[in-house]
Chain A
Amino acid sequence: MLPGLFANLKDCSTQSAFTLLPVVVNDCSRDGSAVLARSLGVNVLNLPSNLGIGGAVQTGIKYALSKGFDYCIQMDGDGQHPPAEFEKLISTAIKTGADVVIGSRFLTGEGFQSTFIRRLGIKYFHFLNRVLTGKSIHDITSGYRLLGEKAMKLAANYYPDDYPEPESLVFFSKHGLKIVEVPVTMHHRQGGKSSIGTFASVYYWVKVTAAMFYSYIRKQ
């Protein structure tokens, strides 16, 4: 599955009008994906100790900042997020001047829509975010998103450790960033397991609710 994804990425980056630098963040995985990525000529950031999703994503953001990039796109490595859709994110960012662009699977209702329970959870966080920030972001847990320079700088300073997506959006809103959603088509994950199991989902619910709330009342 990974070779396909990388090949796909490479195709996109050579065909695109933008200069792209694909980067894989390897959060201490020993399944050989880092070696594979490197052999395919993709840049790999190997974390020497496990940081969890937030720390890993933040590493990528810091890397993009250190290279002086204008935008940074976060994408799952399990094939859920088709690389071909990234042009939509970038062009939306350029057109609307948004600081954060979220690839949303719910705006048009095409492609993989996740399970009922998950959609319910996402609805809840959508509601909570609307209460806290007054903004309506439908696919609030989407991990396919673009950060502009302002958002990257904020995220380099502070990024939540686990389940970072909803909380970071509250954080970005509080700092007055412009957040825009754009419809993308997502797939089923083509390999690997979700980081959120049955028990973890309860923890997820409690943790993210608390995190969003604290993020909301925290001083800037």
Chain B
Amino acid sequence: MSRLQVLIIILNLLFLLYISRLIIKGRLREEYAFIWWISAVFLTIFSIWTKAQNEVSEFLGVTVPANLIFGGLIFLILIYLLHLSLVNSKLQRNVTKLTQEFAILKEQLERLSTGETEKSTSTENQS
């Protein structure tokens, strides 16, 4: 085993430990930690099984093994970006809902505190 290999394996293990620590402390949700776990495990496997990239490239028909790594990683990153967009959309929906509820409740609260009476059956809404 080369020195570089040992170094990478140690770094990966530290990375895994750090992610675990973030989850334990509640700073990272498990669903987002998942992809980091997978990539760290992958890196560890590849650093132990050094011939992997050549063998897998040959199996898949990729001429230059480095391209397999780049291609694979870029694909993973794209998928992860899509995931983040989904998370972002969900957050935005939630913020919209909260903002609307908040504005309506605040308006009612203000009217309650000034003691105004309200009337109803039909409305004019302007925005």
Contacts and interface: CB of A to CB of B under 8 A. Distances in A.
Please indicate whether A and B come from the same complex rather than being unrelated chains: yes
Interface of A: 9, 12-13, 18-25, 27, 43-49, 51, 53, 55-64, 66-77, 83, 86, 90, 161
Nearest to A56: B127
B2 interface: no
A9 B126 CA distance: 10
Interface string B90-109: 00000110011111101100
A161 B97 CA distance: 12
How many of chain B's residues touch chain A, expressed as a range? 20 to 34
Contact of A69 (B103, B111, B122, B126): B122
A21 B106 contact: no
Contacts of A161: 96
Given A45-B103, A51-B96, A67 B126 contact: no
Contacts of B99: 47-49, 51, 55, 59
B127 A57 contact: yes
A69 B127 contact: no
Interface in B102-124: 102-104, 106-107, 111, 118-124
A56 B99 CA distance: 10
Contact of A75 (B96, B104, B125): B125
The 6 closest A-B pairs by CB, nearest first: A60-B125, A25-B127, A69-B123, A19-B121, A45-B103, A64-B123
28 contacts: A18-B121, A19-B120, A19-B122, A21-B122, A22-B126, A24-B127, A45-B103, A51-B99, A51-B100, A53-B127, A57-B125, A59-B99, A59-B127, A61-B125, A62-B100, A63-B123, A63-B125, A64-B123, A68-B120, A69-B123, A70-B121, A73-B123, A73-B125, A73-B126, A74-B126, A75-B124, A75-B126, A161-B96
